[in-house]
Chains A and B, each alone.
Chain A
Amino acid sequence: MSALGNSLRPRPLEAWRSASAKAREQWRLAAVLVAPALVLMGIFVFYPALQTIGLSFYKWDGISPDMGDFVGFKTFARATDNYPFSQAIKNSLLWGVVGLFVPTIIGLVAAALVEDTNLRPKALFRFAFFVPYFFSMAVAAALFTRVYDPSYGMINQVIHALGFTDIKPQWLGDGRIAIYAAMGVFVWHETAFCYIVFTAAIQQIDRSLYDAAKVDGASEVQVFRYITIPSVRDVATFVMTIMLIVGLTPFAVVFPLTTPGLGGPYYSTEILPTLIFKKARMGYNASEAAALGVILLMLVIGIVTAFLWFRERTAPKD
């Protein structure tokens, strides 16, 4: 009997039952394995998120026993109709873009330089690039408050030592550059994470590809462009997604750098999380904080989804 004939022949009932039972068994196993995580996420993620969404439609100060009136979207209008909010949105998007590209690109290039060239000793470079990640982001930011000190900080001392005695940037005091100074801490810290992930990814690439490219006379840049980058594409998507999320919510950097004048000077470092913190913890505007939280959630979900969709759409077909 031909193969076609075999495939068309009705499956015995026992085989179907057996396959069905196996599928059910797999579903049961999956449910058992996933249930604890789902329960925990339900309690600690989904329930608070739903509660926050609900709260955003009420007018509640966060302390009164009475939840206050249902006001619909008025809380959203009130929370967004002001200068600090527009600054926060602008800065959050800027952080997102910087987070998406800067640490990722630097981390990838650094990893490729160390792994794909004759740079020695590799262990030392790997250690040096990863050192920033030994500190938590908040500790790193606290350290940088000293580095950025206009008179005694390391950066201005170096500028002074180089002979530029008239140049004395107010890194955290000048509203025009404070946001970039804060981003500098973020990039310094997060590049280390990107570097170590890309290092691991590059080490997994088949070395024979590099050898073949060299035999064909490819330059270092061409090797990086045509072998390294395509080979780490999936890892890059993961790293960029993480960086995008962290970049949209860099509270751990801004808080130590600017607290308790959070988001200053003059809202120049304001981001949505700092605004939420101020409304909820430094004042009594719980509903507005909740509304801003919902906006932040939507923003992060929207941007990350769009990014993943774009990556999927532009992925090589093979």
Chain B
Amino acid sequence: MNTFSKGISRREMLKLMGVGAVGASLGSQMAYAQSVPDSGTFRFQIESGPGTDFVAVVDAFIEEHPEISVEFSQVEAAVVGVDWQRIAMEAGAVDLISNENPKFLKLDPVLKAGLIQPLDGYRDLYDWDEWVLAAALRRSSRGGQLWTLPLYYEICGASYRKSVLESFDVGEPQSWEEFIAMLEKFKAAGLIPLTNGHRGFSQIQMIHYQFWASIGGLSGPGSITDVIFGDGKFTDTPSVEAAQAILDIYNAGLLDPDVLSITQDDGNERFISGAAALNVTGTWFYSEMQRQFDDDWDMLTMPGPGGGPIWCTGETEAMVIPAAAQDPDAAALFLDFCVKGTGAKILLERGNLLATKAFGELAIPQIQRLPIITGEESSLLIFGWLPQNSQDAYQQGLGGILAGSITPEQWAQNVQDAWERDIEDGQIPEDRSDLL
């Protein structure tokens, strides 16, 4: 039931107030009333890849909550365009939508445009602080209010087959020297030591995250955190050294020579076919590996020169309730179902790494060992924290280093320039310390 509703719905009240469909900056000016609904309908959209998991989740929700109707649709982002979420929100077509991640590239623009409403009332109502990881809630907040709820975490690393590592008598490398020695063994055996599909989505950046995290550490000067949320610069030594390390393994023939020409899917194919020993990927590839190799697979994080292995993690599948939502209460009930209800269980059993502590014991072993579950600290997964200008300079530049177009130092300067320009343009909040 809506606490506003004594003969008038919130939607009607907003109309009467002349607020219109999109309540620009409404969230900060007016408290939304939140309650557990006893009936309702919500319209839910999510991208088709992970959306596959949500078919089962939606079915289970309807079974448990027959009083709530769900109009669920999956979207093929490659077809409808990268900004489909914004368009759906602007059109008032959804009550719940996955806005990809809670980072500068995705959350801040829709927040600035007043397209979403705060979730603090639901956070209290459903006691999400007890269930959702504190870092996920912190990163999803701006100005002291919670604006999105990430359901998943994503982690990047290098996937491998356990049997392959055993056959070479190597374990997960704990240092740069061990890592290089392992790659050399693969190369000597005629395997592609480390494959990576850079064309298209620029996956070299994932190698860079891992090397940088390893060299720069979890926090302090030169760390990824220091650059994204503090006063650090992309030109700081760890970032440049990490870029140089990628060039070094490429020149030594330890990185797939086709890296600049192939896509992530091509890299996956090479790994699955056995042509490549390691494949740079992330948790989004887990279900495919489970399907292909049963239990004979896992993922490691690659140490950089002088550092140990440090995982890079990032919140994703960040759900938002648009300001123009017609039934936010029903949408929030579904969110809670995915945080601590059967929905969370279903998502977990399918190999997803959740941002909630619920049902952690049911996760597959490859998930159980990851820092989100173990509670170990991890570094940032940068993707999404960089707006378009910086992201373009970052992605294009890493490829440019391998192609010999620029040096690691020039790349770092280009990214730093683009980053400062994005700050100047208001694409990144000047004070980001509350996200630390």
- A residues with a Cβ closer than 8 A to B are 61, 63-65, 83-84, 145, 148-151, 168, 170-176, 258-261, 263-268, 278-279, 281-285
CA A188 to CA B60, docked complex, whole Å: 52
A-B contact pairs, 6 of them (CB 8 A): A63-B113, A149-B261, A172-B199, A175-B400, A265-B198, A283-B388
Residues of chain B lying within 8 A (CB to CB) of residue A176: 403
Sample of 10 more A-B contacts, CB < 8 Å, known A172-B261, A281-B83: A61-B426, A63-B86, A63-B113, A148-B261, A151-B258, A173-B258, A261-B200, A261-B395, A265-B199, A268-B403
Q: Is the CB of B258 within 8 A of A170?
A: yes
> Are A278 and B388 also in contact (CB < 8 A) when A61-B109, A173-B198, A261-B396 are?
yes
Tell me the minimal C-beta distance from A171 to chain B in angstroms: 7
Is B63 interfacial (CB-CB < 8 Å)? no
Contact A150 B200 (CB under 8 A): no
Number of interface residues of B (CB under 8 A): 42
Contact partners of A168 in chain B: CB under 8 A: 257
- Give Cα A197–Cα B263 distance, bound, in whole angstroms: 37
Whether a CB of chain A sits under 8 angstroms from the CB of B30 is: no
> Which residue from chain B places its CB closest to the CB of A146 in the assembled complex?
B266
* C-alpha spacing A125/B433, complex, angstroms: 68
Q: Which residue of A lies closest to B269 (CB)?
A: A152
| B389 engages A264 (CB within 8 Å) | no
B112:A266 contact, CB within 8 angstroms: no
Closest 10 A/B residue pairs (Cβ): A283-B388, A173-B260, A266-B400, A173-B261, A265-B399, A63-B113, A170-B261, A175-B403, A266-B405, A150-B258
B99: shortest Cβ distance to chain A, in Å?
Answer: 13
A64 touches B112 (CB 8 A): yes
Chain B residues, CB < 8 A from A283? 105, 387-389, 427
A32 to B381, CA, bound (A): 61
Closest chain A CB from B417 CB (angstroms):
9
Number of A-B contacts (CB under 8 A): 115
**Which of A61, A170, A264 interacts with B202 by CB under 8 Å?**
A264
User: What residues of B have a CB within 8 angstroms of the CB of A258 in the complex?
Assistant: 199-200
Q: A174-B403, A265-B403 are in contact. Are A63 and B112 (CB under 8 A)?
A: yes
Kindly state the separation between the CA atoms of A170 and B402 in the bound complex, as whole angstroms.
12
Chain A residues with CB under 8 Å of B81's CB are: 281
**Residues on B with beta carbons closer than 8 Å to the beta carbon of A284:** 109, 387-388, 427
Task: Collect the chain B residues with CB atoms within 8 Å of residue A264's CB.
Answer: 199, 202, 395-396, 399
Q: Given A150-B258, A266-B397, A281-B83, check contact A261 B388 (CB 8 Å).
A: no
Chain B residues, Cβ within 8 Å of A151: 258, 262
Known: A63-B110, A150-B262, A170-B260. A263 touches B426 (CB 8 A): no
Interface string of B105-136 (1 = CB under 8 A from A): 10001101111000000000000000000000
Chain B residue contacts of A150, Cβ below 8 A: 257-258, 261-262
Q: How far does the Cβ of A265 sit from chain B's closest Cβ, in whole Å? A: 4
Q: How far apart sit A83 and B406, CA to CA, in the bound complex (Å)?
A: 12
Task: Give bound CA distance, A76 to B112, whole Å.
Answer: 24
Q: Which residue of chain B has its CB nearest to the CB of A151? A: B258
Q: Which residue of A lies closest to B395 (CB)?
A: A261
Question: Do residues A173 and B112 form an inter-chain contact, with CB atoms below 8 A?
Answer: no
Q: Which residues of B contact A61 (CB under 8 A)?
A: 109, 112, 425-427
A263 CA to B397 CA, complexed, in Å: 12
Say yes or no: B260 contacts A174, CB within 8 Å: yes
B22 at the interface (CB under 8 A from A): yes
Contact A175 B395 (CB under 8 A): no
Point out the residue from A84, A266, A279 that lies within 8 Å of B406, measured CB to CB. A266
| Cα-based distance from A174 to B258 in the complex (angstroms) | 10
Answer yes or no: B1 CB below 8 A from chain A CBs.
no
**CB-nearest residue of chain B relative to A83?**
B414
- Please tell me which one of the listed residues B22, B387, B399, B425 contacts residue A266 in the complex, with CB atoms under 8 A apart: B399
Report the minimum CB–CB distance from A284 to chain B (whole Å).
5
- Minimal Cβ-Cβ distance residue in A for B202: A261
Q: A170-B260, A266-B403, A266-B405 are in contact. Are A63 and B425 (CB under 8 A)?
A: no
- Indicate whether B24 reaches chain A with its CB closer than 8 angstroms: yes
Q: Are A285 and B388 in contact (CB under 8 A)?
A: yes
